[in-house]
A = this chain, B = another copy of it.
């Protein structure tokens, strides 16, 4: 099952890095769905003068989460919502339903995706692949105000 592989590794770069830049991003979602944060994170990197290191995103909620997914075809995002709904359906006998039928599924979807992301920064740019975007996923049906801690650690200036 572990496939054979051929691989290469680039020459490495080394920098002195001792700067941490932290900020809090606040997002108003409009209910269930994806919010593309890529431009906001790129702007943070630029404003912070980040050169080489990594940026961490940490979402301060348990009914919304983070993921890195395709940025091209919007049907991918629609299908991801469908997939999450199938994995964590409403009205499936959950005990916790104090805030409605979308409450417990939102917690489950958060557990199955990411609360924190860690993305390298190289040559002052996010090291995302061509087809990657950074998304907040709002799992609650109604709009919510969401907070994400942004933190760059590395070489800046």
Contact = CB atoms under 8 A, between A and B. Distances in A.
Contact of A117 (B19, B73, B116): B116
Contact of A54 (B56, B82, B147): B56
A40 B95 contact: no
Contacts of A1: 33-34, 74, 77-78, 81
A16 B18 contact: yes
B53 A28 contact: no
Given A1-B74, A22-B120, A78-B1, A69 B110 contact: yes
Contact count band on A: 35 or more
Given A75-B95, A120-B58, A129-B60, A9 B26 contact: yes
B30 A5 contact: yes
6 contacts: A2-B135, A3-B34, A10-B23, A56-B118, A62-B68, A79-B108
Interface of A: 1-31, 33-36, 40, 44, 47-48, 52-54, 56, 58-62, 67-70, 73-83, 87-88, 93-96, 98, 104, 107-108, 110-120, 122, 127-132, 135, 138, 147, 149-151, 153-156
